[in-house]
Amino acid sequence: MNGIEKILAHIKSESDAECAAIERDAADECERIRSEYARAEKADYGKLMVNGNIDAERRLERLNSLAALESKKQVLSTQQEMLAGAFEYAAKKLYELPQGEYVEFLARQACSASLTGTEAIILSPTDRERIGQEVLGAANGLLASSGKSASLTLSDKTADIRGGLILSGGDIEVNCSIDALIAAHRNELSPAVASALFD
């Protein structure tokens, strides 16, 4: 082997050794980078899982709160319907009183609302025809027995009411219809009715 071949062989040998060293270094660097990414990926996965669990718990809490609120609204709505039903039932029971008791009830309302004893009693068309004169007589009787002027009259007019009466004197009308009486006392009576229904 001549001198040039020896030099070339030496250069090739050094080149091969250097290439092998570079390959080893590159493989080591690749492994290091792969390990770092694996650790980072594991850490990120852990964070994502923790954050995902926290978000899921918060969402569940919000959904539970919304469900509880909706449930309360439904209960309240049902209670309001039942309360309205109770007052409607009370009105119905007043309309359906036996005739004598109903006349007495209307007479007491007229007597209580009368300021002068000279007002006109206005009834529904049905009540005017059926019991108008009885109510007038009973109301004037109650006024007279309490020492008041007893000159109430039965109006020719009728009122668009389901039951009860309207007492009219000059420019003043006192609405003693059953619906108006119940509406006037509803706020006052609601707590007791609610307690009887729901407690």
Span 164-190, pLDDT tens digits: 999 999 889 999 999 998 888 787 877
Residue 182 contacts by C-beta under 8 Å, 6 or more apart in sequence? 87, 90, 91
pLDDT for residue 8? 62
Domain that holds residue 20: 1-96
Domain boundary among 50, 74, 96: 96
Residues 194 and 101 in one domain: yes
The stretch 41-69 carries a mean pLDDT of 81
Say how many Å lie between the first and final Cα of the chain, rounded. Answer: 116
CATH code of the domain containing 175: 3.30.2320.30
pLDDT band at 90 (very low <50, low <70, confident <90, very high): confident
Residues 137 and 172 in one domain: yes
The stretch 35-40 carries a mean pLDDT of 77
Domain boundary among 70, 96, 122: 96
Each residue of 116-168: pLDDT tens digit? 999 999 999 999 999 999 999 999 999 999 989 999 999 999 999 999 999 99
Three-state DSSP class for 158? strand
Residues 71 and 137 in one domain: no
pTM (two decimals):
0.62
pLDDT band at 106 (very low <50, low <70, confident <90, very high): very high
Residues 44 and 12 in one domain: yes
Residues 119 and 76 in one domain: no
Dihedral over Cα of 19, 25, 26, 28: its sign: positive
Query: Pairing state of beta strands 164-169 and 120-123?
Result: antiparallel
pLDDT for residue 12? 67
Residues 29 and 115 in one domain: no
